[in-house]
A and B are shown apart, each in its own frame.
Chain A
Amino acid sequence: MSLSLETAANPENLRRVAIDPVSRVEGHGKVTILLDDKNRIHQVRLHIVEFRGFEKFIQGRPYWEVPVMVQRLCGICPVSHHLAASKALDAIVGAKHLTPTAEKMRRLMHYGQMLQSHALHFFHLCSPDLLFGFDSDVSKRNIVGVAEKYPETAKRGILLRKFGQEVIRHTAGKRIHGTGSVPGGVNKSLSIVERDELLRDIYQMVSWSREAVHMVKELHHKNPELYNSFGAFRANYMSMVGYDGSLDLYHGRLRGRDENGNVMFDGVDYNDYTDLIGEEVKNWSYMKFPYLKSLGREKGWYRVGPLSRIQNCDFISTPLAEIERREFMAYSGVMPMHAPLGYHWARMIEMLHAAEMIKDLLHDDDITGSELMTTGERGFEGVGVIEAPRGTLIHHYRVDENDLVTMCNLIVSTTHNNQAMNEAVRRVAQQYLHGHEITEGLLNHIEVAIRAFDPCLSCATHALGKMPLEVEVVGVDGIQLSTLSRSGDGTFCAQ
């Protein structure tokens, strides 16, 4: 694991190419590449340029408002924030163990979110690259092009996503701004009518999800050279796993492995995440760089999300997804798969698992039960962690005697992957751009690497006034003329 290409030795003599914005990712990301006159790469950085001060947004609010408020942080994964906040605030109302109906309703909502998010990403954001080629005609390399050439694929993507949204609507109460999950439990269970409506379609969703796994698997088998090496870098990886070692996207303990797949830590209570994870600030990005404290800033960065989860768990509890996990692991061999394009395969296995879990939950009588809430001894601090579609999502709150939130810290999935995404774009730049004339197709290779992580950049930045900022002034000849920087303490420095 290296940090090469993060900072050029002599940037003043280099040409600057910017991809701004990175398309088909949420939020506003920017990649800058510094090249010399022979197009040799000297520096590559993925910057986060949109700014969102959501911790400030939450502080001072009554805690019971938070599960609803946090959904407004991000239009892409509102349900993930809704559930992570609810889990954290369970501790405030003393709900140590939810009722079976409450936990299963939250899980059902979560698997609905996982299904719809993964379907959107694979069928509509990545399939144009995977089906047409990374440097194919840009006018066709989009969902309309996919719909034209592969109409059934495009339609399945829409119907899978729509089904996931319907699961969310029935569990959260509304299509958006759902109130289904509350501190201590849920405020509704499924009616028989709602359950039967979802049951009508779920078998088709399982079948399509399975075929989606086969589709991406076939892409790997057809072109292993590309899929195994594109942007590949070795990294530690982390995720939450169930208490029994299973893939559990809703609850469990933290486990991390090194780049060789060896377990570095296991069974870590996520309430102790601050002992495990530190966050580094760099002066060129709004997004922090998390790292494992035990390994330090340079060696402690890690990867999260589907590729980590599928390789970190011991097994998957649903049969079809478990068959696919085993095949994935056999394909990877002794060493873990580190290639970013492996995210797509892993993501589809998770989508299949989510569909199977939805099916199982719909057949569980608890899902229509009436015991919705638990209470206990009032607490003042809570941490909630879930495995969101893009990776581990941490919500941490402190609440005072007046029920107001006094402290809020969120580490969102994309932030965990910050260094990993930077590594991926640097590898791709080295592999494909180094020494070549830059073309749109080549730049899209960079974007393909970023999109593999399905980043959600809009909710991955931190509190207003706290983050460093550097503005580069670059002349038309590519020479940097001056910089203006704001450090973490808010002071400005012009050079």
Chain B
Amino acid sequence: MTAPVLIFAIGNESRGDDALGPLLLRDIDKYLKNKDNCQDFELLEDFQLQIEHAMDMKDRQRVLFIDAGMDTPAPFSFYRSKATGEPVLYSHALAPQALLDVYAQVYGESPPDAYILCIKGESFELGESPTPTALNHQALALDFVKQLLDAVSWDALIETKPR
């Protein structure tokens, strides 16, 4: 059976603070092991989003994308992402919004509710370890995700975090 919630971390562990998403996902995995509702969540990670990930969103109620960002407010931002049908830059990697657009077009239906948790990073160079500041942001993000996992409505938590 497909878990109703997909948590998808994006990042490369060998590129400094780009590791924040995968590292947080590992912490979430540990946390969920002791939760009664752990079967409600599926955890995935990849270097970047691609078209086939639209298939991972099928039959979900919610999707949470976790990524590291340079320009996001510290320590993290949490907001909703929607398919817009507006032109975006396409590459070998997709933005969450573009993935939602692909989903809507390919399946002919609205994608699941999608949210983005973007953790503030500082340096993304190949071979670097995550910076101490970014790891602090990740720890705060974990506390926030714990709230999300128990919350009935995620929209209510958006208001507490600036986009």
Binding site for B on A (CB under 8 A): 23-26, 52-54, 56-57, 69, 72-73, 75-76, 78, 116, 120, 124-125, 128, 138-140, 142-144, 147-148, 151, 154-155, 157-158, 161-162, 165, 175-176, 456
- Which of B29-37, B71-79, B89-97, B134-142 is the contact stretch? B89-97
| Structural contact, A56 and B90, CB atoms closer than 8 A | no
Q: Inside 8 A of B13's CB, which chain A residues have their CB?
A: 72
In Å, the complex CA distance between A99 and B85 comes to: 51
The reply to whether B51 and A72 form a contact with Cβ atoms under 8 Å apart is no
**Cβ of B66: which chain A residues have Cβ within 8 Å of it?**
none
What 8 new A-B contacts, CB under 8 Å, besides A23-B91, A78-B47? Answer: A72-B14, A72-B47, A120-B92, A144-B85, A151-B105, A151-B108, A157-B51, A162-B52
Chain B positions within 8 Å of A56 at CB level: 127
Q: Across the interface, which residues of B come within 8 angstroms of A54, CB to CB? A: 126
* Contact among B14, B86, B93, B102 for A143, CB-based, below 8 A: B102
Contact status B46-A26, CB under 8 Å = no
B116 in contact (CB, < 8 A): no
* Residues of B in contact, count (CB < 8 Å): 31
Give the complex CA separation of A218 and B50 in angstroms.
28
**Could you tell me if B90 and A75 are in contact, using CB atoms closer than 8 angstroms?**
no
Closest 10 CB pairs of A and B: A75-B47, A147-B105, A72-B14, A57-B127, A26-B92, A162-B52, A139-B87, A144-B101, A75-B48, A161-B52
Assuming the contacts A52-B126, A158-B55, A176-B47, asked whether A456 and B92 have C-beta atoms less than 8 A apart, the reply is yes
Footprint of A on B, CB under 8 Å? 12-15, 44-48, 50-52, 54-55, 85-93, 98, 101-102, 105-106, 108, 126-127
Do B87 and A138 touch (CB < 8 A)?
A: yes
Q: Please name 22 pairs of A and B residues whose Cβ atoms are closer than 8 Å in the assembled complex, sorted by A.
A: A23-B89, A23-B90, A25-B91, A57-B126, A72-B13, A72-B126, A75-B92, A76-B92, A120-B50, A120-B51, A124-B51, A125-B90, A128-B90, A138-B87, A139-B87, A143-B98, A144-B105, A147-B105, A148-B105, A151-B105, A151-B108, A162-B52
Q: Is the interface of B mostly helix, strand, loop or mixed?
A: loop
Q: Please measure, in the bound complex, the distance between the C-alpha atom of A125 and the C-alpha atom of B50, giving whole angstroms.
A: 12
**Do most interface residues of chain A lie in helix, strand or loop, or is the interface mixed?**
helix
Alpha-carbon separation in the docked complex, A72 to B15 (Å): 8
Q: Is the CB of A165 within 8 A of B126?
A: no
Which A residues lie within 8 Å of B55 (CB)? 158, 162
Q: Would you call B93 and A75 a contact (CB within 8 A)?
A: yes
How long is the Cα–Cα vector from A158 to B49 in the complex, in angstroms? 13
Tell me the complex Cα distance, A50–B108, Å. Answer: 37
A4 to B52, CA, bound (A): 42
Let me know if A142 and B105 touch, CB within 8 A. Answer: no
B105/A154 in contact, CB under 8 A: yes
A147 contacts across to B, CB distance below 8 A: 102, 105-106
Chain A residues within 8 Å of B12, by CB = 72, 75
